[in-house]
Amino acid sequence: MEKQIIPRKSYIKQIEAFVNQNVIKVLMGQRRVGKSYILLQLMEDIKAKYHPANIIFIDKELHKFATIKNDSDLYSYVVMHLKDGNNFLFIDEIQEITSFEKCLRSLLNEGKCDIYCTGSNAQLLSGELATMLAGRYAAFEIHSLSYLEFLEFNHIENSNDAINQYLTIGGMPFLPNFGSDKNASFEYLKNVYSSILLKDVVARQNIRNVALLESLVAYLVDNVGNILSAFNISKYLKSQQIILTPQTIISYLHALCSAFFVYRTPRADVNGLKIFETGEKYYFEDIGLRNAIRSFNFRNDVNKLMENAVFMQLKRCGYAVYVGKNADREVDFVAEKNGERLYIQVAYMLYDENVMQREFGNLLEIKNNFPKMVVTMDEIPVGSYKGIRQVHLREFLSNADYTSRGVIL
């Protein structure tokens, strides 16, 4: 069956600048966020622009490529399929090939083809690979659908129903195939979760006790937006008769982050951005996956879902994101990019004056001129409070930049 490809234009635009440049293009991100389809879109664009273009495509999730197990197998396969003219090599899930970096370095040095690959583990660009290919690759982090992409993929208008749906099922690109069937969507998401856990966490990190890992994931699900530490997680799990040492928890958390399943968000001073060594928050790559792991109640969880959505929007826009600490006050997010900074509080509704003073007050205590805002889902917005803007979540997720040199909401 022919695959329908909906272009994800922001990623294509980023990568197009590197086409036919002598660097390896690496698309990284959680499994099933759409890296393969971006590769297919790039192939179509290249075939149209560079005629004739010889496309060599290897998908390590297909059985026909099972014989390509290591760098020697990969090199032999590529050389066998080279032709005169423009050669382009695309490899999907390259981490499944042992010592692949040796082959890529050789192909790059020989100038045999323009190379693109995807991977589902952050360790692709660490250790030996980073040493062997230093300065010879360009990395692109691919995420699940943004809110605007979600609207486009599902052919729906920007509305309260749409934002609630996005906060419920998330942005995995395959979900539009299930239409409005939420049960089918969650069943698919549960299978994706199992695949990520087993293939990208358990197998790659040689984790033996999957049940303990799942207990840790369940804890992260329940504690989105809360300050965590390995010691406190261990202490809580012990109270539930689950024994995980702080060191093991640190190892498991690292494995989950390496699979792009969750993101560690450290605390930093709101003024100098001094990073604190203890206490961090964890957010999920995809809200729908988080919701599929355990039964959830939208109204009870909405603040967590909103925080997660805001965090991921900042990540998509290229910000470095921290949890802000200002004396004894906490700011949900401090985002920094290109020397600019942005401070954000997230609250479901500003019910009364006390809530407004708490949410806006944390920002008013920050004595600089960088943009500050409170993101809510109030239908009748306050507008601003002592000069700080209130922004509806739909509006926030519909913009690409929020610094003083970008879009000021």
Domains of the chain: 9-141 (3.40.50.300)
How many residues make up the chain in this entry? 409
Contact 192, 289 (CB under 8 A): yes
For residue 77, what pLDDT is reported? 98
How far apart, in whole angstroms, are the C-alpha atoms of residue 104 and residue 125? 13
What does pTM read for this prediction?
Answer: 0.94
For residue 71, what pLDDT is reported? 96
Extract the tokens encoding 185: 């969507």
Provide the CB-side half-sphere exposure for 195 (13 A, CA).
Answer: 13
Residue pLDDT tens, the chain, 409 long: 455 678 999 999 999 999 999 999 999 999 999 999 999 999 999 999 998 999 999 999 999 999 999 999 999 999 999 999 999 999 999 999 999 999 999 999 999 999 999 999 888 777 656 777 778 899 999 999 999 999 999 999 999 999 999 999 999 999 999 998 999 999 999 999 999 999 999 998 889 899 999 999 999 999 999 999 999 999 999 999 999 999 999 999 999 999 999 999 999 999 877 888 778 999 999 999 999 998 889 999 999 999 999 999 999 999 999 999 988 889 999 999 999 999 999 999 998 888 888 999 999 999 888 999 999 999 877 678 888 999 999 999 998 665 543 333 3
CA angle 348, 353, 359 (to 5 degrees): 50
**Selection from 339, 354, 350 nearest residue 390 by Cα:** 350
Positive or negative CA dihedral for 281, 282, 287, 293? negative
